[in-house]
């Protein structure tokens, strides 16, 4: 097995925080935060790196990496622990109940930040107790909150009822609230500015498709503007013909990862046109393509249909069967699960996997290492109850990877 290299996090804190008892206000430009462990010539190359098969560290100049930006949902998750789901017309008693911060967007943002990568969250909460709960959880997780808005006018924070069964599996009912209400017809220049400065943008479907389309379309338009600086007379730029040095200067070419979770309605083709990596689970892949996904062969065929729909890469989360990345024209990359000592709660495991994959990818790791890093993060997630509370830190993920390497 090849060595897996990731940068450590125990000796620095690269995040800005806002007081959690105040409503965050948008700022006009991305704050200039110093991240002291990155190479100035290649922001994806860490200054100090952790290698499972190497004990050497190298030191190089310092610069700031492009952030991970999550545009998405924030929910108050109302957990009820039950032995089984109720039958139709049946009332059952829950063992316990509690409210914890969650939502696919907030989960992914917190995961990115806890994995020691600079992470911004663009989203909305209500001016209520649940909104304060989520804001505090995000801030404590290290997420930069300049672009989190608190809505007035009685709009409640989004929430979800999570029915957690004794085997760790869950069923979830979502109430959109602020996630689906009062989004501006046009996102502010401040919101779009932080998106344009991202290394990767993570989207999900617990906010309106129109918001996701606006974010993705804006990035595409910015990308075309940059390309036309090299090809001013071209009406349509073929990026496959662009020289490497010109592609390096195309800083607006932000990777868009679309988590397919959320609304179960068909995904608009306009949105798919902008997506670089689509990340569904088995059932979401089946709904999206209208195809069965019970076997790996069927999953491969469904992924191929996604390629025909315009998505070049499909990252499928397969639960206990691991994960697979389907890149058009290439052999699938399969990643088995890294077994957990115990499975207490699978809530947020998919969000953890997607966000961890994004962090490794924006750091320039090979896709095989990205998937292994994500599998380790998801393995740790399912061992803790709750979504945001279960997001692992970077040191824990690296320790697990090292332990697996030693015993393999």
Residue 354 annotated as binding site: no
Q: Is 171 flagged in the annotation as binding?
A: no
Task: Tell me if 107 is assigned to a ligand binding site.
Answer: yes
The reply, when asked if residue 39 is annotated as ligand binding, is no
For residue 161, the cross-strand partners are 78, 173
104 is in an annotated binding site: yes
79 backbone dihedrals φ, ψ, rounded to 5°: -90, 135
Task: Judge whether 53 is annotated as a binding position.
Answer: no
User: How do strand 200-205 and strand 255-262 relate by DSSP bridges?
Assistant: parallel
Residue 393 a catalytic site member = no
**42 labelled as ligand-binding?**
no
Return d(Cα 75, Cα 174) in angstroms, integer: 8
Tell me if 75 is assigned to a ligand binding site.
yes
Determine if residue 384 is labeled as part of a ligand binding site: yes
Which residue is listed with tokens 């617990």?
A: 206
Integer Cα distance of 231 and 335 in angstroms: 40
- Is 14 one of the annotated binding-site residues? no
Say whether 158 counts as a known binding-site residue.
Answer: no
The answer to whether the annotation marks 390 as part of a ligand binding site is yes
- Annotated catalytic residue: which of 128, 191, 259, 351? 351
Residue 321 labeled ligand binder: yes
* Tokens standing for residue 75: 């929910």
Was 317 annotated as part of a binding site? yes
**351 labelled ligand-binding:** yes
Determine if residue 149 is labeled as part of a ligand binding site: no
381 is in an annotated binding site: yes
Query: Binding site annotation covers 273?
Result: no
Burial 231-245 (b: 16+ CB within 10 A, else e): eeeeeebeeeebeee
Residue 398, marked binder: no
- CA-based diameter of the chain, in Å? 69
Question: To the nearest 10°, the Cα dihedral for 366, 368, 369, 373?
Answer: 140
User: Could you give the CA distance from residue 123 to residue 73 in angstroms, rounded to a whole number?
Assistant: 6
Tokens, residue 131: 């909104």
Measured CA distances, 122 to 1, 190, 224, 225, 287 (Å): 38, 10, 24, 24, 27
281 is in an annotated binding site: yes
- 106 marked among binding-site residues: yes
Binding residues: 75-77, 103-107, 206, 281, 317-322, 345, 347, 350-351, 381, 384, 386, 390
In the annotated binding site for K(+), the residues are 345, 347, 381, 384, 386, 390
> Binding site residues for substrate, as ranges?
75-77, 103-107, 206, 351
Going by the annotation, the residues of the binding site for ATP are 281, 317-322, 350-351
**Catalytically active residues, by annotation:** 351
């Amino acid at each position: 097995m090849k060595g897996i290299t990731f940068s450590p996090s125990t000796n620095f804190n690269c995040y800005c925080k806002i007081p959690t008892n105040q409503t965050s206000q948008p700022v006009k430009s991305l704050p200039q935060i110093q991240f002291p462990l990155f190479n100035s010539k290649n922001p994806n190359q860490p200054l100090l790196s952790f290698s499972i098969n190497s004990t050497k560290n190298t030191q190089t100049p310092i610069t700031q990496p492009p952030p991970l930006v999550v545009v998405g949902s924030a929910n108050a998750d109302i957990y009820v622990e039950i032995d089984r789901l109720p039958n139709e017309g049946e009332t059952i008693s829950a063992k316990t109940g509690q409210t914890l911060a969650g939502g696919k967007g907030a989960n992914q943002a917190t995961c990115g930040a806890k994995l020691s990568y600079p992470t911004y969250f663009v989203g909305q909460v209500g001016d209520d107790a649940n909104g304060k709960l989520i804001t505090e959880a995000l801030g404590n997780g290290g997420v930069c909150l300049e672009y989190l808005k608190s809505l007035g006018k009685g709009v409640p924070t989004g929430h979800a009822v999570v029915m957690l069964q004794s085997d760790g599996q869950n069923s979830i009912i979502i109430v959109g609230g602020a996630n689906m209400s009062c989004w501006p017809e046009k996102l502010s220049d401040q919101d779009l500015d932080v998106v344009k400065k991202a290394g990767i943008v993570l989207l999900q479907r617990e906010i309106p498709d129109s918001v996701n389309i606006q974010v993705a379309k804006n990035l595409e338009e910015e990308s075309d503007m940059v390309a036309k600086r090299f090809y001013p007379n071209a009406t349509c730029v073929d990026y496959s013909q662009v020289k490497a040095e010109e592609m390096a200067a195309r800083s607006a070419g932000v990777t868009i990862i679309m988590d397919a979770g959320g609304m179960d309605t068909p995904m608009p083709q306009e949105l798919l046109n902008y997506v670089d990596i689509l990340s569904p689970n088995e059932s979401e892949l089946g709904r999206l393509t209208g195809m069965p996904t019970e076997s790996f062969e069927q999953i491969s065929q469904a992924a191929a249909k996604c390629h025909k729909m315009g998505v070049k890469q499909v990252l499928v989360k397969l639960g206990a069967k691991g994960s697979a990345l389907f890149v058009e024209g290439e052999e699938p990359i399969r990643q088995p699960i890294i077994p957990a000592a115990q499975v207490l709660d699978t809530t947020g495991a998919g969000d953890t996997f997607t966000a961890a994959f994004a962090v490794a990818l924006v750091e320039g790791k090979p896709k095989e290492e990205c998937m292994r890093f994500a599998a380790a993060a998801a393995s740790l997630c399912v061992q803790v109850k709750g979504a945001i509370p279960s997001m692992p830190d970077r040191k824990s993920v690296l320790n697990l990877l090292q332990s697996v390497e030693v015993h393999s």
